[in-house]
Amino acid sequence: MRKKLVGIILVLLFIPLCLPETSLGEVKRESSIQPLYTHILQIDGSFNISNGKAACYGAGRSQFTDTKTIVKVTLQKRVTGSTVWSSVCSWSDTQSGRTYAIVNEQKSISRGYDYRILIKCTITDSEGVIQETDSMYSRVISY
């Protein structure tokens, strides 16, 4: 009886080693959440600080030729350690069709703050009705 019980326990311990290789990590990668856009083809940006200037870049593009793409980039700051963000300034660009709407600006900034940018992309139809909008934040940089 004891040998049979030990044998069953050993079999149960080794069964996972014999199963096909579908790890939990693989399942997580396959089921990661990605936005499913119907009108936005691309939204992208970058943010950096060098020599007291914030370099702010944001771009967006529509999937369709009969639309307008509006990209707005807002530079935000907060006191280091705070949770409250405030707007420093913003810029926008509007393009028709599948052309990229691009904001590429620099702004002099002050020390003692955390900075980031908010990139908002909006797609409208030919009559100005919003078809889709989304936004993303850059990384936070302390200066």
pLDDT of residue 26: 40
Q: Are strands 86-96 and 67-79 parallel, antiparallel or unpaired?
A: antiparallel
Instruction: Tell whether 96 is covered by a domain.
Output: yes
Per-residue confidence (pLDDT) for residue 7, from 0 to 100: 55
Structure confidence at residue 81 (pLDDT): 83
Write down the pLDDT at residue 36.
Answer: 84
Q: Is residue 86 part of a domain?
A: yes
Q: Is 98 domain-assigned? A: yes
Cβ atoms < 10 Å from Cβ of 136: 14
Domain hosting 75: range is 40-142
Q: Is the residue at 4 inside a domain?
A: no
By CB atoms closer than 10 A (0-12, 13-18, 19+), residue 129 is exposed
Looking at the domain assignment, is residue 20 inside a domain?
A: no
Is 61 inside a domain boundary? yes
Number of domains in the chain: 1
Distance CA 131, CA 143 (A): 37
Q: What is the pLDDT of residues 45-102, one digit of tens each?
A: 999 999 999 999 999 999 999 999 999 999 999 998 899 999 999 999 999 999 999 9
% pLDDT > 90, the chain: 73
Residue 65 lies in a domain: yes
The rounded distance, in Å, linking the Cα atoms of 38 and 34 is 13
CATH number at residue 48: 2.60.40.10
Q: Does 12 fall in a domain?
A: no
32 CB contacts (<8 Å, ≥6 apart)? none
